[in-house]
Amino acid sequence: MSVAVVVFAPSCNRSGVITAPNIILDSETGIYTIKSGRELVIAPEYESAEEADFKWTLSGEVIGTSPSLHFMREEAGQYFITLTVTNEVGQDLEEIRIDVIDLEIPYVSISGDKSLLVTQGTVVDFAATVRENTLETKLVWSCNGIQVSNDTTYRFTAQECGEYSIVATAANEDGTSSDEVKVQVVDPSDIPFEWEFSSVELHTVEQRRMLISPVKVGDTTGVEFLWFQGGQDAPQKGTQSYIFSAGDAGDYTVVGSASFYKGEQRITLQREFKVTVFAEGAHYRAATGSSSADWNRVYEYTPAPGQFINETRTGGFNGTQTTPEAAIAYAEARMSETNKKGEPSPNFVSLGGFGGYIVVGFDHSIDNSGDYDLGILGNSFSGSSEPGIVWVMQDENGNGLPDDTWYELAGSETGKEETVQNYEVTYYRPTAPMMPVQWKDNLGNSGEIDYLKQFHRQDYYYPLWVESDSYTLKGTCLSARNYDASGNGSYWVNVEYDWGYVDNFSPVDRLTDGANAGAAANANHFKISHAIDFECQPVNLDFIDFVKVQVGVNAKSGWLGEVSTEVFGFYDYNMKK
C-alpha cells in the first residue's frame, strides 16, 4: 500500500505546483520471489522524484539509498522492506515483501552400497533417484568418466578386471549433484571364500533344536561342509548351516569345516562352537503380588525408515533421538503416556517399513496357559490393518537380556506359499534431505520408502540414531493385501489377516466385535503355544520373558505411504483374564 504524506506548498512542476513523490512498483502485490544466493533488482518507477531522497530499510537498518535495490540473501525466509521516497514537500512509502526460497538442487542418490566387489562377467543394474523438484532436470551416467546413459538406470557388465567409477550426475538451472559407486572387478579365483558367524559361544535349552547359521557366506559351489558334534563317531556331511539338537543340560562342542580347491590346492576352513544347554525352567521368574501385567522395559527400538520416524509433530520425536538409548527412552515415554486424570493413555510407536521392530520385557515370566497369553495394542480398524509379526524369547541364560533364541508365533499365513521366511531388506541413507529412502531385498527386488512432503516434512525418514549408511532388517514377510479401491489412487484399503498379527483388524484374536472407527488403541491376543522354530515346527515353551514385534509386510499404499505396524503397549493377558 502506498502512503503519501503531502505538505501543501508552491511547486515548480509542469502545473506550477510542487507535489510529493509517488512510487510505482512493478509488482501489483508488492511481493517478490528470489532463490537463495541469487540477486534480485527492484527498480520501481517514480513520479515527482527528480530531487528526492531514497531509503530502503530492513528491520530498521538502511540497506540502500538509490532508486533501485540490489538484494541477495543466502538464508531462505521472508524479508519485509520499507521503501521511503522523500522530497521537499512530502514522502511516499511502500511496504515490500521478498520471499527467498531454497534452490532446487537436484540431489541424486544411487541405490545400494557405494563399494562393490564383483567377478568378471557379473551384470550389475544401478538405479538413481533424484530429489523431487519443479525444474527440468537431466540425469547422466558415466563410467570412468565416459558418458554411458541418460536413463534413470544403468546396466554395468564387468568385462575386464580393474577398478571402475560409476557416477550419476543430475543437473538443472539451480545446480548439480553427483553420487558415485566404486566397483572392483576381479577374477573369480581371487575372491576369498567367507564363512563367518556372529558368535562361537551359543546356548539353548535341553531337548530343543538350534540352527547354527553363518551371517556371511561366499559361493558354496564345490565346497564340502563337514560337521562334528561331540559324542559322534565321525563327521557328517552337511551344508553351510548345522542343526544342533540339544540333549540334557551341559556344555557341548560342535566343529564345522568347509573345504574347497583353489587351483590344485585344497583349502579347509574350520569353525569351533561351544554350546551351553540349560535346563528347562532354570531361569523362570514367577509373578508376585507386586508384579505388573504391563511391559516394564524397552530393550531395543529399531524401526525401518518411515514417515513417522524423526517426525516432531504426530510422531512425537524432538530431534534429540540420535542414539539407540535416546530412541529407547522415546519409545518408553510414548507407551507410558497418561491423560489429564493420570490414567494410562499410551501413544503409538511407529515401526516404519518392513522389518522395523521393538523388543520389550516384563518384571516376571509370562506363562504358557495353552490359551491366549499376550495382548499387544495397535490401532487397526476396518480397512486399516498393518500386520506385525510376533516373536517371543525365554531368558535361557538368565542374564536378564534378550540375547537368546527368538521363536516366531505362528499366524494364519504361516506355511503358505506366498509367505517368505528369512526375508531381508537393506535400507540406504539418502544423500540429501527430503529424499525417499532406497532399499534392496535378498530376492533381488528394490524400491523406495516414499517421501510424503504433503504430510511429513522432517529432513530424513532414515532413523537419526542409525550411524551406518545402510542397515539390514530381517524377518517373516507376508503377502501384501492392500489395494486401491478407488482406481485413481485416492482411496486405499489395507485388508486384515485372519489371526496372529499385531495392528490387525482380526475377527478372531481381537476378542471383540467393536469397529474401532476412531482408530483408538486396541489389542490383538496371542498364544505362546503357537511358537515355532526355524523350520516352522512347533516348540514347547513353558514361559517367555521377552517379546518382539516386527513389521510383516513390504508394501506401500499410495499417498498413505508405507504399510507400517504401530504399537501402543504389551501386557500379560493371563493377569487380566
Examine the domain organization and report whether 197 and 185 are in the same domain.
no
Task: Read off the pLDDT of each residue in 223-237 and give the average, rounded to a whole number.
Answer: 90
pLDDT > 50? residue 325: yes
Within-domain flag for 535: yes
Within-domain flag for 26: yes
Examine the domain organization and report whether 396 and 540 are in the same domain.
yes
108: which residues sit within 8 A by CB, 6+ positions away?
Answer: 128, 129, 130, 131, 139, 168, 169, 170, 177, 178, 179, 431
Boundaries of domain holding 304 = 297-575
Copy the grid coordinates of residue 146: 565416459
Angle at 48 between CA 43 and CA 54, to 5 degrees: 50
Instruction: State the pLDDT at residue 37.
Output: 94
pLDDT > 50? residue 9: no
Grid-cell match 512509502, residue found: 93
Examine the domain organization and report whether 177 and 236 are in the same domain.
no
pLDDT > 80? residue 377: yes
pLDDT > 90? residue 502: yes
In 131-200 the beta strands, taken as DSSP E runs, fall at 138-143, 146-149, 153-157, 162-172, 175-186, 195-196
Residue 11 — very low, low, confident or very high, per pLDDT cuts 50/70/90? very low
% helix, strand, coil for the chain, step of 5:
5, 45, 50
Q: How far is Cα 236 from Cα 549, in angstroms, rounded to an integer?
A: 37
231-241: b (≥16 Cβ within 10 Å) or e:
eeeeeeeeeee
Task: Read off the pLDDT of each residue in 489-514 and give the average, rounded to a whole number.
Answer: 96
Examine the domain organization and report whether 226 and 271 are in the same domain.
yes
Angle at 305 between CA 300 and CA 308, to 5 degrees: 90
Within-domain flag for 207: yes
Residue-wise pLDDT tens digits, 378-431: 999 999 999 999 999 999 999 999 999 999 999 999 999 999 999 999 999 999
Examine the domain organization and report whether 81 and 129 are in the same domain.
no
Examine the domain organization and report whether 182 and 196 are in the same domain.
no
Residue 2 — very low, low, confident or very high, per pLDDT cuts 50/70/90? very low
Q: Are strands 297-302 and 357-367 parallel, antiparallel or unpaired?
A: antiparallel
pLDDT > 50? residue 8: no
Task: Read off the pLDDT of each residue in 102-130 and give the average, rounded to a whole number.
Answer: 94
pLDDT > 50? residue 10: no
Residue-wise pLDDT tens digits, 137-189: 999 999 999 999 999 999 999 999 999 999 999 999 999 999 999 999 999 88
The CATH number covering residue 269 comes to 2.60.40.10
pLDDT > 80? residue 283: yes
Q: How far is Cα 321 from Cα 318, in angstroms, rounded to an integer?
A: 7
Grid-cell match 509370562, residue found: 366
Within-domain flag for 199: yes
| 211 closest CA partner among 258, 259, 254 | 254
Angle at 397 between CA 393 and CA 398, to 5 degrees: 90
Examine the domain organization and report whether 90 and 120 are in the same domain.
no
Within-domain flag for 284: no
Number of domains in the chain: 4
Residue-wise pLDDT tens digits, 528-559: 999 999 999 999 999 999 999 999 999 999 99
Examine the domain organization and report whether 356 and 457 are in the same domain.
yes
For residues 230 and 364, the model is more confident at: 364
Examine the domain organization and report whether 419 and 541 are in the same domain.
yes
Within-domain flag for 331: yes
Q: Looking at 243, 278, 313, which one is the last position of a domain?
A: 278
Examine the domain organization and report whether 83 and 168 are in the same domain.
no
Within-domain flag for 380: yes
Q: Looking at 58, 81, 101, which one is the last position of a domain?
A: 101
Which CA distances in Å does 357 have to 70, 333, 549, 567?
A: 54, 17, 5, 10
Amino acid letter at 514? G
pLDDT > 80? residue 448: yes
Examine the domain organization and report whether 376 and 417 are in the same domain.
yes
Examine the domain organization and report whether 301 and 227 are in the same domain.
no
Angle at 130 between CA 129 and CA 131, to 5 degrees: 120
Within-domain flag for 335: yes
Q: Looking at 138, 169, 189, which one is the last position of a domain?
A: 189
pLDDT > 90? residue 473: yes
Helix (H, G, I), strand (E, B), or coil: what is residue 328?
helix
